Structure 1
Amino acid sequence: MPFCTPEGGARMTSENLGEFLSGDRIETSPYSIYMQHNISCTALCQVELQDADKEKVDNLQKAIRRDYRHNWIIDNLPAASLVPVEGEDATQTYYSQGFPVGEVIDGKYYVNNHVHMVVDYHPMDLEEEPSARVVGFKVEPFSVKHAFQSPAAYWTGAPGDMPPLSTCEKDNFINPVKPTVDPSQKQEVAVGQRIIYTYDVAWKQSDTHWASRWDIYLTMNHAVKNRVHWFSIVNSLLIVLFLTAMIAMILIRNLHRDIMRYNRVPTDEEKAEEREETGWKLVHADVFRPPAKYPMLFCVLVGTGVQLLCMGIVTIAFAAIGFVNPSNRGSLAVSMLLLYVLMGVPAGYSSSVLYKSFKGRQWQQCTLLTALLFPSLCFTIFLSLNLMSQRYHSTQAVPFVEIIKVLALWFCISVPMVFLGAYFGYRKPVEPYPVVTSNIPRQIPDQPWFLWSCFTITVGGILPYGAVFIEMFFILQSLWMGNYYYVFGFLMLVFIILIVTCADIAMVFCYFQLCAEDYHWWWRSFLTTASTGAWVFAYSAIYFSNLQSTMLATYVLYFGYMALLSLGLAALTGCIGFYSCLWFTRKIYASIKVD
């Protein structure tokens, strides 16, 4: 694009793995800024848009049309620009990350070629020498069609040889360029135009301390009131209370009545009537029969869900405490990656214990699939999307060296951790079930339509999704709109509510299924809550309209990464549903007497 570049070309600064995975690419710029040194109307460069530059002009116009923004950093602090917003009472202003490349007026494109930078600093009292710290960085962009004071003047492009400009006051750095609404005074982007880039830097002393310099970026009152997050929490709590009340009224009361009836000694008259029992007790000899279909795959998926669940809990806890924050770029991605590979221990342990309880013999294959199946799927999709990102020269494209680092973490840490957990899992004695499984499977009667697997699995994910969908909007805003997400305290509460909701809904459906004498609850308990991932993916398809993109690459990248996110969430919520049902069935069948 026709922008200024530093001498010798832009250089990439050193970045960590998390920054590459997050799509952050920090490059050097041609701007020269010195501590507490004010400059005004400083020329940076000029760009002549010739006929040969038609492609550059088209690219810049496309960037302006798609509302692209410049994202600058000074002392690890991103640039912020003031944006007016129509409020309930009056127009308010708030800070937005970066500033727009330009604007479109009456079908013509205008580039912001002048920037007025205000750098806030906080003085430090040191005995050795006076010093200061940068605590704020604001940018006000303008589009100015610069003109020289002398019509015959010509600038060769050398920084020190620029003739005086009539459109920029050299000695006034407070308001060097007055905003104009006249398009004729703005710099148009078209072939034959000459663009002169200028800038000012004004240093301003501030009372803001170093520890709170990120507050303006993390204060979201302009866009998201805290009451919206609280509304999300209250909405989720109401769902949990509703489910808990249902369990209290239906499950506990019915279970107490069933257990009393099953454990009561029948009278002679009742024996003579030979009254046939109905309900969940009849399947006691089959309820703990291993899944008939794909028992190893079931164990692998449960282990994957445990790995993701442990990673999510620890990551959100660290973020809520403050160990992970936006000022440390890439820290969230690195934390999630490292925690995922370390949580291979509980993944291998849980899958091995479950597979051993199924009396499986191919324990090496089960452990290997636990270590490779889900990561292989994620890596294949990621590699395909990364190749597309490289084709379009996107900053989301991860370099080959960084991909090798991810593979090293996977094979050198994650896989051994899974085998380590499986080693302890297979050494652990199998915990006996409260009832004995018969050799001959019981025939399952016809089920009512509301207990069909397709219906319960589809409906089962609605309430867990309803508990998180409001917070999901903010997470998608952070992922795809470049906003900062920092309310991890709210996220922790929502995550806890999600866990409770999944457990409640899984136990409710499991109870009704057993009452209908259907003992195939293993896969059903997992898939009932795993459908939350499908609902989240459906919501992401609706949210995609906010991106306002028509490029095929955007469609593929967006839905590809959202598919990965939804699959991970499905495995996570599925393992919650399964373990809650396993605990539930153990408890109820341990409380009855079986002949």
Structure 2
Amino acid sequence: SIQVLYSYEVKWVESTLAWADRWDVYLIGSPDDDIHYFAIVNSLMIVLFLTGAIATIMIRTLRKDIAGYNEMQTLEEAQEETGWKLVHGDVFRPPQVSPMLLSVFVGTGAQIGTAFLISMVFAILKFLNPLKKGQTLSTLLLVYVLCGSVAGYTSARLYKFCDAKSWKQNTLYTAVALPGALVAIFCVLNVFLSMAGAATAASFLTIVALFALWCCISAPLVFIGAYFGLRAEKLEVPTKTNQIARVIPELPWHVHPLVTTILGGILPFGSVCIELAFIMSALWLHQIYYVMGFLLAVLIILGATCAEVAIVMCYLQLCSEDHRWWWKSFWNCASAGGYLFLYSIWFLSSRLDLVGILPVVVYLTYMGMISILFGLFCGAVGVLASFWFNRTIYGAVKVD
């Protein structure tokens, strides 16, 4: 046998490129950039157009309604009230079904949105490296934990408005419900991964660290936020609530809860579906996602879209003399999480090539958790937007 020796020579050349931009040669200028940017801009333009159109229609319609109602009061016409003004004595009636659960959901959704917004700002300021997905995930988790006070404050203020008394239980559920459910699912899944000898199984110290973050940081911050939320004054509304609830007439088909829930989530999901394809590829196909500025813009557009959808659905519901808008406003937007999960199933069948049952279970479990978070955020925006809308329109009319 002949022994062959190989040698090589390295020549270092000084570069003027900044250290923070050293990966731009891989991140910028790829063949898909034109398609990527066009898809994002196209999605944003469509959503902005729809948002502007809906806002214009609503403003013109509401101005006509408010002017008509106030003119009737001025002329003291003895006409029967019609439309959404007819339910002014019941529109701010607290939800009769699980006000505590609604408060927990809205508070948790506010926490999710705040955490994601702050994380995107960090990414835009280049505090996060898109190549280090573990660092990004850790930052998201840490920011979510530190935003626990947002959940406690929002949940407590909404629960206080509902005149409920079990504020300790409400605060505890806000601190425990979502983190506890996600940690429990993660631990069960991790047991199966460990039994299968998977490299993605988390170590025992990682699980202990998650529990420490939850119990020592997140939960106390939720209680601190709830303390300030309960000490704050009760949210004021422009109308008084009647002692006896108004009888709700038979509703037309377009405001049926099932119909509005199915239709309500289409537009919020549609505002992110194109961008979602790139995010899913980064999560599951080992690609790199780096356009954080566009992602922040999509997040803002998503919030605006959820608010617009919730307001329109709430307006149509009130015009049908149905004052039970609390839970409907939540589910009308939260159903976008269901569309996200359906999209993940399509992505699994068309883009991924997973072998075995366990990888499929892991994928569906993680996407189910992401869909729940997405739905909670959209639902929280829907409830808060509808509440603001109702306070605004009923504060603009003269009510006896």
Task: Report TM bin, short chain.
Answer: over 0.9
Say if 2:84 is the partner of 1:310.
no
Say if 2:379 is the partner of 1:565.
no
CA change 1:547–1:593 in 2 (3 A) is: same
Measure, in 2, the Cα distance between the counterparts of 1:549 and 1:309: 31
Using the TM superposition, give the Cα deviation of residue 331 of structure 1 relative to its aligned residue in structure 2, in angstroms. Answer: 2.0
Corresponding residue for 1:587? Answer: 392
Corresponding residue for 2:36? Answer: 228
Measure, in 2, the Cα distance between the counterparts of 1:400 and 1:468: 36
1:345–1:421 contact (8 Å) kept in structure 2: yes
Measure, in 2, the Cα distance between the counterparts of 1:533 and 1:400: 31
State the Cα deviation string for residues 36-88 of structure 1 (Å, max 9, x = none).
Answer: xxxxxxxxxxxxxxxxxxxxxxxxxxxxxxxxxxxxxxxxxxxxxxxxxxxxx
1:284-363 aligned at under 5 Å gives the runs 284-326=88-130, 330-363=134-167
Corresponding residue for 1:219? Answer: 28
Corresponding residue for 2:292? Answer: 488
Using the TM superposition, give the Cα deviation of residue 257 of structure 1 relative to its aligned residue in structure 2, in angstroms. Answer: 1.4
Using the TM superposition, give the Cα deviation of residue 220 of structure 1 relative to its aligned residue in structure 2, in angstroms. Answer: 5.8
CA change 1:204–1:578 in 2 (3 A) is: farther
Corresponding residue for 1:383? Answer: 187
Corresponding residue for 2:325? Answer: 521
Corresponding residue for 1:441? Answer: 245
Q: Look up the equivalent residue of 1:417 and give its one-letter code.
A: L
Corresponding residue for 1:421? Answer: 225
Using the TM superposition, give the Cα deviation of residue 371 of structure 1 relative to its aligned residue in structure 2, in angstroms. Answer: 0.2
State the Cα deviation string for residues 277-330 of structure 1 (Å, max 9, x = none).
Answer: 210000000000011111100000000001101001000111111101145563
State the Cα deviation string for residues 204-245 of structure 1 (Å, max 9, x = none).
Answer: 5455544433223323613x2144233223323222322321
Corresponding residue for 1:237? Answer: 45
Measure, in 2, the Cα distance between the counterparts of 1:324 and 1:303: 27
Q: Look up the equivalent residue of 1:479 and give its one-letter code.
A: L
1:73-88 aligned at under 5 Å gives the runs none
Corresponding residue for 2:345? Answer: 541
Q: Look up the equivalent residue of 1:418 and give its one-letter code.
A: V
SS at match of 1:203: coil
Count of residue pairs the alignment pairs up: 397
2:151–2:222 contact (8 Å) kept in structure 1: yes
CA change 1:319–1:264 in 2 (3 A) is: same
1:236–1:466 contact (8 Å) kept in structure 2: no
SS at match of 1:312: helix
SS at match of 2:10: strand
Percent of aligned pairs sharing the same letter: 41
1:389-408 aligned at under 5 Å gives the runs 389-408=193-212
1:233–1:494 contact (8 Å) kept in structure 2: no
Using the TM superposition, give the Cα deviation of residue 515 of structure 1 relative to its aligned residue in structure 2, in angstroms. Answer: 0.4
Corresponding residue for 2:55? Answer: 247
Corresponding residue for 2:379? Answer: 574
Using the TM superposition, give the Cα deviation of residue 247 of structure 1 relative to its aligned residue in structure 2, in angstroms. Answer: 2.5
2:157–2:235 contact (8 Å) kept in structure 1: no
Measure, in 2, the Cα distance between the counterparts of 1:577 and 1:408: 32
State the Cα deviation string for residues 344-403 of structure 1 (Å, max 9, x = none).
Answer: 111100100110010010000000000000111111111122112212222221100111
CA change 1:256–1:383 in 2 (3 A) is: same
CA change 1:482–1:594 in 2 (3 A) is: same
Corresponding residue for 2:305? Answer: 501
Unaligned residue ranges in structure 2 (runs of 5+) = none
Using the TM superposition, give the Cα deviation of residue 475 of structure 1 relative to its aligned residue in structure 2, in angstroms. Answer: 0.9
1:464–1:502 contact (8 Å) kept in structure 2: yes
Corresponding residue for 2:355? Answer: 550
Measure, in 2, the Cα distance between the counterparts of 1:580 and 1:374: 22
Unaligned residue ranges in structure 1 (runs of 5+) = 1-148, 150-162, 174-200
State the Cα deviation string for residues 520-572 of structure 1 (Å, max 9, x = none).
Answer: 10011111111111111111100112111231011100000000000000001
SS at match of 1:549: coil
CA change 1:399–1:234 in 2 (3 A) is: same
1:12-51 aligned at under 5 Å gives the runs none
CA change 1:321–1:254 in 2 (3 A) is: same
Q: With a CA cutoff of 8 Å and minimum separation of 6, indicate the structure with the bigger relative contact order.
A: 2
Structure number with greater Rg is 1
SS at match of 2:271: helix
Measure, in 2, the Cα distance between the counterparts of 1:378 and 1:220: 38
1:244–1:504 contact (8 Å) kept in structure 2: no
Measure, in 2, the Cα distance between the counterparts of 1:489 and 1:447: 43
Q: Look up the equivalent residue of 1:336 and give its one-letter code.
A: L
Corresponding residue for 2:69? Answer: 262
Say if 2:10 is the partner of 1:170.
no
Match of 2:281 among 477, 500, 519: 477
2:161–2:234 contact (8 Å) kept in structure 1: yes
Measure, in 2, the Cα distance between the counterparts of 1:367 and 1:212: 45
Measure, in 2, the Cα distance between the counterparts of 1:485 and 1:327: 8
CA change 1:550–1:262 in 2 (3 A) is: same
Structure 1 window deviating more from structure 2 (557-566 vs 236-245): it is: 236-245
2:107–2:152 contact (8 Å) kept in structure 1: yes
Q: Look up the equivalent residue of 1:432 and give its one-letter code.
A: E
Structure having the higher strand fraction is 1
State the Cα deviation string for residues 407-458 of structure 1 (Å, max 9, x = none).
Answer: 0010000000000000001111112211000000001111111111111111
2:73–2:398 contact (8 Å) kept in structure 1: no
